Structure 1
Amino acid sequence: MKYQLDHLNYAVPQNGFGNRLSSYLLALEAWRRGLEVKLYLDEANDERSLLFQISDGRTKHEFKSSQGTLLSEEAKVICNDKDLTKNYLARNNVRTPSWKLFNKNEYEEAYKFAELIGFPLVVKPLSENAGKGVTPEITSYDEFNRAIALVTEEIGDDMYIIEDHIPGDEYRIFMIDNKVVAATKRLPANIVGDGVSSVSELIDKKNKSKKHNPNMSTKIITIDDEVNHSLKTSGFTLNSIPLLGEQVFLRKKSNVSQGGDAIDVTNKLTSEMRTIAEKASAAIPGLTYCGLDMISGSENSPAIIEINTKPMLGLHAFPSEGEAIDVPAMIIDRCFPNYAHSPKSLYYFDFKNIVYLLKRDNASYIPVKPLTELSYSSYHTFLDIVEDSSDETIKNVHNKAKELQLSGTITRHNNRELEIRIASPDAKIVEKFKSLIFEMRSLKQNNEPDLSVPVNLGYQYVRNKAELHTEVERVANQRDKKSEMIQKKNEDIAALKKENKKLVRQSRKLKLRIEELENNQ
């Protein structure tokens, strides 16, 4: 799949990096500009979260996911406390739903407040928690009780907020210096009928459609009690067949992490929405950039729900629909303005392996190998293997790439197709490799080559599933053979021990016989 932001093609795997996607996008953007990047683990945190530092030799910025030192500590403290955030918003005449803060022992007071504002209402934890523990559109006291139990017992938060539910569409708006730079409309997990497929089949199709999006591939729709309850409320079951074009919502929360959609609407926000977003961002001291959660309906003016200082950048770089916005580049521009217009490389680094080494070796930090050359000459093509000696052909290509010290990957998709994506700062080296390839009679080009593609710094040979299965079988066979050898050796040792015992007994008998003979003389 080709991503909208061309410089991220191949640089971001289709399965993404989960919650570390924002970290990688920022680190990659900085590194490609020639900035120094170090990755390390937060030893003060039991979870050992991934942290990284970006430096130009004079200025340093440290990040935890997308949250960096460009943000003031005051802004982080305020936005991590929903009650405090709302107080700042209200103080600056920014509309936010009516709310009140309670601790887990104030159930009677919470009950009275719920009566006062009436249903529907929302219960959420006090701290910023990526949507965890939030129960929207509560319409009964049974739901109300379950929502409080979710926060105080399951999530383990002693404090929670009850707020008025405002109907409308939900938006995540990314702000830099109090200006809107990107916006997505967030929809709860949903499916759209085709008039033929069941709800269950449509969920499966929707999940498969997400697998090529690095930000959405792991954020699939899971069929659970909430989904079944939503279906029942809407008059559906998993076996129901929705009409062509009929949209069925499966959850209440507009949470992308639970299978929701993110549609880019940067150029569709109303002037009123932009004005309120700018006013909200300016209400928090030192809030250089953030993700605002806004709700906007046809009957009421927009309201700010929350402010996030660690927003998901993949939401804007890889939306479900609409235009991709390069928010990571904007953040690096803001952190290092002198590098805003500097040339960028299309190399990318092995992020997954660095994280693995950090955890395995317990290293204090790992610097990403700096780029000595930002530009390179590249070559990307697909080749058919036209002879039976596919293993020998691939071995020859592999060896030539290593000999020439090329960067990039050579991928074997099957026994008959080879994908080559290589690069070198020296164009002559690339041309030499191409000449060597075309001299091989067993290879035939099957497409027009692409001469400008992102490539991995360093060389990798990527095996296909069949090769991996073969390798697994080979290792398993080796293991079985060694097990047999060990078993045979153990059997031989047991036999030798048995023979040794027999010889010891015979030796004792002979000694006794010798003693008898000596005594009789």
Structure 2
Amino acid sequence: MNLDKVERYDWLPHLETSIPEFAFGDKIDMYVMALEGWRRGLTLRFVGIGEKSLVRFKLSDGKKEHSFSVTRGDLVSKEAVNICVNKDLTKQYLEGAEVPVPKGYKYSKETPLENILTDLSELNFPFVVKPIDGRRGKGVISNIQNEQQLIDSIKYLREDLLCDEFIVEEHFNGEEYRVYIVGNDVVGVIKREPANIMGDGHSTIRELIRMKNERRKKVPNLYARLIKVDKETEGILKEKNYNLETILKKDEKLLLSHKANLSTGGDSIDYTDELPSSVKEIAIKGLKCVPNMPHGGVDILYNEETGKATIIEINSRAGVGGHLFPLEGKARDIPKAIMDFYFPNTVEFKRNEKLHFDLEQYWNLIKGGKAKEIVVPNVNIKKNKTQKFIIETESKTPDFRKFINQVILKRYSNVSITIFGQTKIEIVLNGEQEVLGGLKVSIHDFFSRKKVEYNMSEKEYPNSILQGVNVRHVAKRNNLRKQINENEKLRKEINNLQDLLKEKSNEVEKLQTSKSWRYTKPMRAVMGWKHKRN
């Protein structure tokens, strides 16, 4: 997908046309990591692990090989993984290294509620409650203001989430940041804001959420991480005397959650250059206190007014999508930093940024049980160019398929072909100058031999193309434009009908709660009886 045409962000140019839609969402982190290594000329293998065929990948330079689980490489020890998974154990290591953490206690499902309330009487509201092994903000309840809310939150974890162990901590007043560290360096920082919308003076909260989600669907790592209206959202709206049909004032920003996780609708804003070095040092110290953990993500709360910071979590398999595709600010190339660390001999290698591979076919083969291991064909990292050749003939000819079969399939490996009816074909080829020149000769020889008159033009192609031979047919532009216009018209009609339905539903709701509706109930009953009789 061409991300450059979606919306103008300050993202990395070599990824703007390199992310297939299949890799959007939860697969994005694995894809960009594997892509970075593969484009350096490393051998890429996808493997299936266990009965569920969990997809992992390996990279090799011919002398050494490293295995990766999404962003976590095999230099991160199992001990480090176990520590990071257990929030209480993480906290113990941090406290042992004198790294600031929130005050709080760990409890089990057997701990009497009275004991919990007695312990916490020494601390101050508001509190945060979270499962020991929670991920992506699941089960985290923040901004607990009083004892009854605390009791309800503990009950929810125990009874609804069946949580065996959980932590209750003092709430730290500060903004949340994800600091990604490789070796001794901070290579990226994102500020994570809770799900939010901005008023425009005429759209309802419901409509603003829908529009924000449409924007998120076009961002690779946020594709499936949409804003959802849940109990927390409803509570926030109720506190402000708002509902989903409330129209926000222009430039009024409304937070819809207390949690800043991207998976629950949060926003990522690059803060690499803005976060003070003193806070970065706390994050580095926190990562270093976990044994054999050379890289990972540190979640830290920082209060700009007081200058204080505290670590709330360390992630051994932290996502990098928020750093690569921030909604605001500059993208940071975390995959490059990780690959530099694992394969320092490839730091100076020139990436072939004009090719990307098809994750979907490899993924489906492994998940479908048809293969346990697949090697992706290596990419050529020599001085390659990508050139587009446009061939037009004056008369209709059936020879394009023969041309593809007799010339393209036999001689070229990385080419994208688009056929426009029977009079035009576009060929985008990636290769060395000699290969590109050879294609021009092949085109001339083929059409001359078939005695078909043609015009050919060529130009450098700026985007990445899919590895292999890919052919597609395109309908005539007039028909395509007509279809686009019809689809747009239909979309507007659907939106208008939805708005009308909401309006009528509100009118019915008001009518059914009115006094006149209650007073006319006997009459409606009689009229309904007569109607049945007739």
Q: Is residue 386–residue 428 contact of structure 2 (8 Å, CA) maintained in 1? A: yes
Q: CA deviation at 1:118?
A: 3.2
Indicate the residue corresponding to 1:357 in structure 2: 365
- 1:69 matched to which residue of 2? 74
Shift of 1:461: 2.5
Are residues 1:311 and 2:318 paired?
yes
Structure 2 counterpart of 1:328: 335
Give the secondary-structure state (helix, strand or coil) at the position aligned to 1:157.
coil
Contact 1:102-1:161 within 8 A present in 2 as well: yes
* Contact 1:15 1:217 (8 Å CA) reproduced: no
Give the counterpart of 1:454 among 458, 464, 469. Answer: 464
Which residue type is aligned with residue 351 of structure 1? L
Query: In the alignment, residue 43 of structure 2 is paired with which amino acid?
Result: E
**Match in the other structure for 1:428:** 437
CA distance in 1, matches of 2:21, 2:107: 42
Percent identity, aligned pairs only, is: 31
Q: Unmatched 5+ residue regions in structure 1?
A: 471-521
Q: How many Å apart are 1:126 and its aligned residue?
A: 0.8
Letter in 1 for 2:326: P
Report which stretch shifted further, 115-124 or 174-183.
Answer: 115-124
Is the Cα–Cα contact under 8 Å of residues 193 and 202 in structure 1 kept in the other structure?
yes
The answer to whether residue 13 in structure 2 is matched with residue 6 in structure 1 is yes
Are the counterparts in 2 of residues 15 and 213 from structure 1 also a CA contact under 8 Å? no
Deviation at 1:156, TM superposition (A): 3.8
Question: Are the aligned partners of 2:26 and 2:221 in contact in 1 as well (CA < 8 Å)?
Answer: no
The alpha-carbon distance between structure 1 residues 437 and 243, as it changes in their structure 2 partners (threshold 3 A), is: farther
The equivalent of 1:491 in structure 2 is none
Deviation (angstroms), 1:414: 11
Q: Could you tell me how far apart the structure 1 residues matched to 2:253 and 2:334 are?
A: 30
Unmatched tracts of structure 2, length 5 or more: 481-534
Residue identity opposite 1:460 in structure 2: N
What corresponds to 2:65 in structure 1?
60
After superposition, the C-alpha distances for 1:405-425 in whole angstroms (9 at most, x for unaligned) are 352434579999987543234
Corresponding residue SS for 1:268: coil
| d(CA) in 1 for partners of 2:454, 2:227 | 45
1:339, 1:314 → 2: CA distance?
23
Q: Work out whether 1:343 is the aligned partner of 2:343.
A: no
1:96-107 → structure 2 map (5 Å cutoff): 96-107=101-112
Letter in 2 for 1:405: Y
Give 3-state SS (helix, strand or coil) of 1:117's partner. coil
- The secondary structure found in structure 2 opposite 1:355 is helix
Measure, in 2, the Cα distance between the counterparts of 1:209 and 1:188: 16
For 1:152 and 1:184, the matched residues in 2 are separated by 32
- Distance in 1, matches of 2:393 and 2:170, equals 68
Aligned counterpart, 2:496: none
Distance 2:159 2:460 in 1: 56
Give matches, 1:11-90, under 5 Å: 11-14=18-21, 16-43=23-50, 47-90=52-95
Q: How does 1:109-508 map to 2 (within 5 A)?
A: 109-297=115-303, 298-299=305-306, 301-346=308-353, 347-372=355-380, 374-380=382-388, 401-402=408-409, 404-410=411-417, 421-425=428-432, 426-432=435-441, 449-462=459-472
Displacement of 1:67 in angstroms is: 1.4
Aligned residues: 462
Q: Greater Rg, structure 1 or structure 2?
A: 1
SS of the residue 2:66 aligns to: strand
How far the C-alpha of 1:40 sits from its partner, in A, is 1.3
Residue 360 of structure 1 deviates from its aligned partner by 2.0
Alpha-carbon contact 2:398-2:422 (below 8 Å) kept = no
Question: Partner letter of residue 94 of structure 1?
Answer: V
In structure 2, the CA distance between the partners of 1:305 and 1:464, relative to structure 1 (3 Å rule), is farther
Instruction: Decide whether the 8 Å contact of 1:219 with 1:258 is kept in 2.
Output: yes
The answer to whether the 8 Å contact 2:129/2:168 transfers is yes
Q: TM-score, normalised by structure 1?
A: 0.79
Conservation of the 8 A alpha-carbon contact between 2:429 and 2:436: no
For each residue in 1:231-254, what CA deviation from the matched residue of structure 2 results, as whole angstroms up to 9, or x when unmatched?
A: 222332111111111101111100
Q: Identify which range, 77-86 or 429-438, moves more after superposition.
A: 429-438
Q: Residue 207 of structure 1: SS of its match in structure 2?
A: helix
Asked if the contact 1:333–1:340 (Cα under 8 Å) also holds between the matched residues in 2, the reply is: yes
The 1:132–1:435 alpha-carbon spacing in structure 2 relative to 1, beyond 3 Å, is: farther
Partners of 1:283 and 1:398 in 2: how far apart? 59
Decide whether the 8 Å contact of 2:129 with 2:166 is kept in 1.
yes
Rounded Cα–Cα distance in structure 1 between residues aligned with 2:159 and 2:442? 62
Q: Tell me which amino acid in the other structure corresponds to 1:274.
A: K
- Residues 91 and 411 (structure 1 numbering): CA distance in 2 closer, same or farther, change over 3 Å? farther
Aligned-pair CA distance for 1:337: 0.7
1:76 is paired with a residue whose SS is helix
Structure 1 Cα separation of the partners of residues 329 and 439 of structure 2: 37
1:210 aligns to what SS in structure 2? helix
Cα 1:463/1:451, change in 2 over 3 Å: closer
Cα shift readout 1:182-239 (whole Å, capped 9, x = no counterpart)? 0000011100111121111111111111222111122111233332222222332111
Give SS of 1:116's match.
Answer: coil
> More deviation in 138-147 or 410-419?
410-419
In the alignment, the residues of structure 1 paired with residue 239 and residue 404 of structure 2 have an alpha-carbon distance, to the nearest angstrom, of 58
Q: Could you say if the C-alpha distance between residues 340 and 154 of structure 1 is closer, same or farther in structure 2, counting changes exceeding 3 Å?
A: farther
Q: Secondary structure of 2:45's partner?
A: strand
Distance 1:58 1:100 in 2: 48
Return the offset for 1:31: 1.2
Question: RMSD of aligned C-alpha atoms?
Answer: 3.4
The offset of 1:30, in angstroms, is: 1.0
Shift of residue 435, structure 1, vs aligned partner: 6.7
Instruction: Report the 3-state secondary structure (helix = DSSP H, G, I; strand = E; otherwise coil) of the residue aligned with 1:332.
Output: helix
Pairwise CA distance, 1:378? 0.9
